[in-house]
Structure 1
Amino acid sequence: MSATTVLVTGAAGYVGRHVVKALLDRGAQVVATVRPGSRADVDPRATVVAADVLDPDFRLADLGSPAPATAIHLAWQDGFTHNAPSHLLRLTDHFRFLTGLADSGVGRIAVLGTMHEVGYWEGAIQADTPTNPLSLYGVAKDALRRSTDIALRDRVELQWLRCYYIYGDDRNNQSIFTRILEAVDRGQTTFPFTSGKNLYDFIDVAELGRQIAVAATAPGVTGTINCCTGDPMSLADAVQGFIDTNRLPITLEFGAYPDRPYDSPGTWGDAGDIRRIMAEFG
């Protein structure tokens, strides 16, 4: 791909660091924003700027000129705490920032979404699957998706990149894999678990970073795109595989916790679009 400038917010976050690396590996020039005071590592090839993009006084011009061709908005507070009030309290800040990008001349905007927008669903999630979120995180993300579509779809090339169950780089995550590593650190030899029968779409964070980098810079590609594998796997198989691969001295205690009645027995992303995008532009 030819060199183009891409703005990445939340660049020091769990997903952000992998997106920045993937963009740089593809030859993009990256302006990476991090929260003021952040000490997280960001690829040194990027131009790193400490800025609170959700502050009402933030202006894109503060990052320098000209305006980036593409913006990938990953920044989100309390992403691992699904019922934190901050999701709704900061919703207007995200909307103001995204519409401000369009006002400043950014022509392509990609925003990170989540399967939690959909709520309870059995089977493959399509781009147009009806949404009925069951957490404040899902409600806020879905509201941002709907509102930016109304406000910006006729002004910019707009993408909503919906992600699923992310693993990898697990010391910087807060997933079941992270909790297992922490249990091993504490010297536990067993880990209380559910039945593990539920099926999910697990994607390595490095692969997710590549999918986001390719999709967000693919000319003419707009709308909701599932960033996923499309291959459902049981939670038990995924976790046991993680333990075996990393040779962890811990055993799963199946059935120690009941399965949650509001969890789908199986839900995953339809990967048809992202596979086509990766084949054509990757």
Structure 2
Amino acid sequence: MMGMSVLVTGGAGYIGSHAVLALLDAGHRVVVVDNLVTGFAWAVDPRATLVECAVEDDRVRDVIREHGVEAIMHFAGSVVVPESVSDPLKYYRNNTAASRALIESAVVAGCKHFIFSSTAATYGTPAKVPVAEGDPTVPINPYGMSKLMTEAMLKDVAAAHPINYAALRYFNVAGADPLGRSGQSTIGATHLIKIAVEAAIGKRGHVGVYGTDFDTPDGTGVRDYIHVSDLAAAHVAALDLLVSDPGRSHTLNAGYNRGFSVLEVLDAVDRVTNMQIERRMEGRRAGDPAALVADNSAILSTLAWRPARADLDTIVTDALAWERKLAERQAS
């Protein structure tokens, strides 16, 4: 397939920067729109064009026209679940309202394909594990609801305008680019593997384990961890599908159909680092389901995509290598 011009919102952030790499590596042209509130300009590959502005700006329409953008990958948004509970309006503004404005820009400027970073939080606390795309979506926090509302808008817009979309519902994204070109650089991250590798290199004194009385094999929360590079590859595969079959849209889980508990993840970090991180058992956090694992049969049957780094120790190894690189960067 010929290279396309793709707009990536939030391309200076964690997942967005990896999608930029995957698109460029696949021969596409990339323009990034990011307001750099949580992203980093240095995280954007120099082969891409960076435009510093908010996704809800009308200026985005000019960017789409100027660069002949044929597809949008939308990663920009706020992602901290507890913060969404304490500040819901921020999430409905940054996720739902900003997405509405971006979708309108796409329609007005004639962009035909839209790939959206959705979330497993759209399911809330699933009645069964693994959870499939057709299962009930009953979010238990404003973060999940803000993303589900965007999915609803995309569905309605695709029915009314010549645009198709893929909404990828991410499970727990972790790891870093195997070539060390990007990784999770957020300060105060809330992701377990990021926190654990920070502890492994001495950035933190311990790792808190929130909840030891869940209905799981070892009592700690079970999650489906997907390597960020595999996730980025899924976005490129989704783009190929949208272009080849413009009449159809897709909502797909992005995960491995394999759950690991908090303690299993920490055991993996201990294995990879050959040391022991201090674990502190704490109470449950509000809104944490016991287990969240993807039924990934739909993405495997729909996209020309297979995970390449679906091994917990590999994910941890890549995350650790990035954390060491980040520490060097911050020290220099």
TM over 0.5: yes
Instruction: State the number of aligned residues.
Output: 278
Aligned with 1:31: secondary structure? Answer: strand
Q: Which moved more, 1:259-268 or 1:154-163?
A: 259-268
Q: Which moved more, 1:62-71 or 1:141-150?
A: 62-71
Matched, 1:158 2:165: yes
Q: Which moved more, 1:272-281 or 1:71-80?
A: 272-281
Q: How many angstroms apart in 1 are the aligned matches of 2:265 and 2:146?
A: 29
* Per-residue deviation, residues 6-61 of structure 1 (Å, max 9, x unmatched): 11110001100100111111111111222258534211122222222213x33422
Matched, 1:58 2:81: no
Preserved CA contact (<8 Å) 1:61 1:67: no
Map 1:1-282 → 2, pairs under 5 A:
1-35=1-35, 38-55=40-57, 57-62=58-63, 64-65=65-66, 67-79=68-80, 81-83=83-85, 84-85=87-88, 86-90=90-94, 91-121=96-126, 122-155=128-161, 156-169=163-176, 171-173=184-186, 174=189, 175-184=191-200, 185-186=202-203, 188=205, 190-193=206-209, 194-195=211-212, 197-218=220-241, 219-220=244-245, 222-253=249-280, 256-259=281-284, 262-279=287-304
Q: 1:250 to 1:66 in 2, by over 3 A?
A: closer
Q: TM-score, normalised by structure 2?
A: 0.75
Q: How many angstroms apart in 1 are the aligned matches of 2:262 and 2:136?
A: 25
Identity between Structure 1 and Structure 2 (%): 22
Q: 1:153 to 1:231 in 2, by over 3 A?
A: farther
Q: Which moved more, 1:116-125 or 1:81-90?
A: 81-90
Q: Which moved more, 1:3-12 or 1:124-133?
A: 124-133
* Per-residue deviation, residues 172-198 of structure 1 (Å, max 9, x unmatched): 25212232344452563x534243533
Deviation at 1:65, TM superposition (A): 2.7
* Per-residue deviation, residues 148-207 of structure 1 (Å, max 9, x unmatched): 21123342111111101111136525212232344452563x534243533211111121
Preserved CA contact (<8 Å) 2:12 2:36: no
Of Structure 1 and Structure 2, which has the larger fraction of its residues in helix?
A: 2
RMSD: 2.6
Which sections of structure 1, spanning at least 5 residues, go unmatched?
Answer: none
Q: 1:148 to 1:278 in 2, by over 3 A?
A: closer
Aligned with 1:8: secondary structure? Answer: strand
Q: How many angstroms apart in 1 are the aligned matches of 2:42 and 2:265?
A: 28
Preserved CA contact (<8 Å) 1:212 1:227: no
Q: How many angstroms apart in 1 are the aligned matches of 2:151 and 2:20?
A: 23
Which sections of structure 2, spanning at least 5 residues, go unmatched?
Answer: 177-182, 213-218, 308-332
Deviation at 1:249, TM superposition (A): 4.1
Code of the aligned partner of 1:120: T
Preserved CA contact (<8 Å) 1:99 1:152: no
Aligned with 1:241: secondary structure? Answer: helix
Q: How many angstroms apart in 2 are the aligned matches of 1:277 and 1:152?
A: 19
Preserved CA contact (<8 Å) 1:70 1:217: no
Q: 1:16 to 1:171 in 2, by over 3 A?
A: closer
Code of the aligned partner of 1:128: G
Of Structure 1 and Structure 2, which has the larger fraction of its residues in strand?
A: 1
Q: How many angstroms apart in 2 are the aligned matches of 1:67 and 1:58?
A: 14
* Per-residue deviation, residues 207-250 of structure 1 (Å, max 9, x unmatched): 11111221133232622111111222222212321232133441
